[in-house]
A and B are shown apart, each in its own frame.
Chain A
């Protein structure tokens, strides 16, 4: 355990202050130079921006969708197992394989998505609905109208869309897992609480949710949010397979940066510095989670 887990952390810390590269006999101490680069160069600024955007989009959306799906499924009379199975499929599938499939689905000329969007252009009511013409919007200036005349986005090849597309795939992959965790959390909410609330005059399902379900799911939520965050920080497969960090570094996330700098360019020192920063982020998150959970335990 010491060798495999703790030593590497120390090694990373040490290397981050050097200009070591594999194959060289020695190395020089460069002090904080790697860190200085990381906080001043625009590449790394973009890296932090892309990573944080990814995390800040994927975490809330996938947690919210996971919770929503769990609540809906839990309140169904029948068919819940069916949806559970379907929503969980992406969790099991190799993300790399699915990323490539998404690439085809999103392909600008033969992909199903743009194909469907384009075929809608020729159908009167679809066009009017999607371009907003039905409520008096100018159809040509709308997003859909522009897409019809100038072609729909390249998704992964467009710097304005690439990161969002990668985020979308991230959410698609992650929310089923969150759903299962929430379903588990829901089974542990004592039924008597609902009965008691009913007696106290809590009737609407909305207030039932806010007064009982949501607070009782607190520990689950802390857990789900932390684990999703840690996983989002680690996003690699989709970026390496689909965009290589581009276009214009718009999807240059941390794990990919570590891989590119340290392993492809053999700038181990720089890679180590990014690793240390990454580690700091994740440790902070986990400690925050521990603290939150412990606080809960004291109150309960």
Chain B
């Protein structure tokens, strides 16, 4: 049973929520709007949301000796094409996708068998290992960034993909989450599989993994959101090699030369970096929110 308030109170609630929504939306609005406008429109704050889209001439391009006609485009086209031209944005996006996907895959490869061993197999020292997992849950990865960085520097791994990936390969959170999930799988199922002659290895991947899909989804959300957006760790270990920049680092690179005319392209870059996750979220929001609920409350 739900208590329904009067229409006046209901309208009042909507008013508060709309006001909040406007503040939340404001930077997204600014970002999209600036990515569509010409530099003049940005500076004078005219042109409404999308700008007038009057054709504009790229003076820099003219200086390079191209004809004026070739250098004329609409502000949208200019901003977004500059985003890809000024810095190797495709490369950054690829790095981001590659690093994020590798981290998640390795995390699953480690967490699923570990969780299986911790929940379904009996072996000497199991409780101790699980206690250690619980203890490690207390350590936030940021706190150990510095010693990790030094260890990686000692073995000469800074400025490599490995440096971006290795520290995140063991997710205690993932192990913990998977273990909680596996505990709910009946032992009979595993015994039946063993009677059918399956090896422990194939039990993990062919029996346990499919049952854990909802938990994996939840974990994927946390992992992907965190690593696609992460700025601190790449900033620490990738010190010069632009070929290894992840999208947030790439955006910062863009910021270095932030003179007035680059705002449009810069906002276009920001939009391109933010959009993949937002679109994924909009497409699968029910699952997203459920996933966070599922894992957040354990």
Cα of A79 to Cα of B138 in the assembled complex, Å = 38
Give chain A residues whose Cβ lies under 8 Å from the Cβ of B34. Answer: 104
- Among B24-43, those with CB < 8 Å from A are 24-28, 30-31, 34, 42-43
Partner of A98, one of B27, B255, B297: B27
Docked-complex contact A282 and B27, CB < 8 angstroms: no
Docked-complex contact A8 and B17, CB < 8 angstroms: no
Give chain B residues whose Cβ lies under 8 Å from the Cβ of A170. Answer: none
Cα of A181 to Cα of B293 in the assembled complex, Å = 6
Partner of A97, one of B2, B26, B225, B248: B248
Cα of A234 to Cα of B140 in the assembled complex, Å = 9
Give chain A residues whose Cβ lies under 8 Å from the Cβ of B26. Answer: 105, 112
Given contacts A86-B21, A100-B251, contact A94 B229 (CB under 8 A): yes
Give chain A residues whose Cβ lies under 8 Å from the Cβ of B282. Answer: 85
- Among A118-173, those with CB < 8 Å from B are 172
Most buried by B among A4, A208, A236: A4
Docked-complex contact A94 and B228, CB < 8 angstroms: yes
Docked-complex contact A9 and B1, CB < 8 angstroms: no
Closest to A271 in B: B146
Docked-complex contact A88 and B273, CB < 8 angstroms: no
Give chain B residues whose Cβ lies under 8 Å from the Cβ of A180. Answer: 289, 292-293, 296
Of the stretches B8-16, B69-77, B192-200, B202-210, the one at the interface is: B8-16
Docked-complex contact A230 and B255, CB < 8 angstroms: no
Cα of A102 to Cα of B23 in the assembled complex, Å = 11
Docked-complex contact B273 and A100, CB < 8 angstroms: no
- Among B147-196, those with CB < 8 Å from A are 147-151, 153, 166-167, 169-170, 172
Cα of A12 to Cα of B150 in the assembled complex, Å = 10
Docked-complex contact A92 and B263, CB < 8 angstroms: no
Interface status of A279 (Cβ within 8 A of chain B): yes
How many B residues have CB within 8 A of the partner chain? 76
- Among B231-257, those with CB < 8 Å from A are 231-232, 235-236, 247-248, 251-252, 255
Interface status of B143 (Cβ within 8 A of chain A): yes
Tell me the dominant secondary structure on chain B's binding face: helix
B 125-136 binary contact with A (CB < 8 Å = 1; else 0): 000000011001
Docked-complex contact A223 and B289, CB < 8 angstroms: no
Give chain B residues whose Cβ lies under 8 Å from the Cβ of A6. Answer: 132, 136
Give chain B residues whose Cβ lies under 8 Å from the Cβ of A227. Answer: 296
Docked-complex contact A76 and B10, CB < 8 angstroms: yes
Give chain A residues whose Cβ lies under 8 Å from the Cβ of B151. Answer: 7-8, 11
Cα of A282 to Cα of B136 in the assembled complex, Å = 12
A 250-285 binary contact with B (CB < 8 Å = 1; else 0): 000001001100110000100110010011001100
Docked-complex contact A287 and B138, CB < 8 angstroms: yes
Given contacts A15-B147, A94-B248, A230-B140, contact A194 B167 (CB under 8 A): no
Docked-complex contact A9 and B3, CB < 8 angstroms: no
In angstroms, how far is the closest chain B Cβ from the Cβ of A26? 14
Give chain A residues whose Cβ lies under 8 Å from the Cβ of B27. Answer: 98, 101-102, 105, 172
Docked-complex contact B153 and A100, CB < 8 angstroms: no
In angstroms, how far is the closest chain B Cβ from the Cβ of A181? 5
Cα of A8 to Cα of B14 in the assembled complex, Å = 49
In angstroms, how far is the closest chain B Cβ from the Cβ of A139? 25
In angstroms, how far is the closest chain B Cβ from the Cβ of A231? 9
Interface status of A191 (Cβ within 8 A of chain B): yes
Docked-complex contact B289 and A84, CB < 8 angstroms: yes
Docked-complex contact B297 and A184, CB < 8 angstroms: yes
Docked-complex contact A88 and B281, CB < 8 angstroms: yes
Docked-complex contact B296 and A94, CB < 8 angstroms: no
Interface status of B63 (Cβ within 8 A of chain A): no
Give chain A residues whose Cβ lies under 8 Å from the Cβ of B289. Answer: 84, 88, 180, 183
Cα of A10 to Cα of B200 in the assembled complex, Å = 35
Further 15 A-B residue pairs, CB within 8 A, beyond A8-B148, A112-B26: A77-B10, A83-B17, A87-B20, A87-B24, A89-B28, A90-B24, A92-B225, A93-B277, A96-B251, A100-B251, A100-B255, A223-B296, A258-B145, A268-B150, A287-B138
Which residues of chain B have a CB within 8 Å of any CB of chain A?
1-5, 10, 13-14, 16-17, 20-21, 23-28, 30-31, 34, 42-43, 45, 132-133, 136-140, 142-151, 153, 166-167, 169-170, 172, 225, 228-229, 231-232, 235-236, 247-248, 251-252, 255, 263, 266-267, 270, 273-274, 277-278, 281-282, 285, 288-289, 292-293, 296-297
A–B complex contacts, Cβ < 8 Å, 22 sampled:
A1-B132, A1-B133, A4-B148, A22-B153, A69-B17, A86-B24, A95-B231, A96-B252, A101-B267, A104-B267, A112-B26, A112-B45, A181-B293, A184-B293, A223-B297, A227-B296, A268-B150, A275-B144, A278-B142, A279-B139, A279-B143, A282-B139
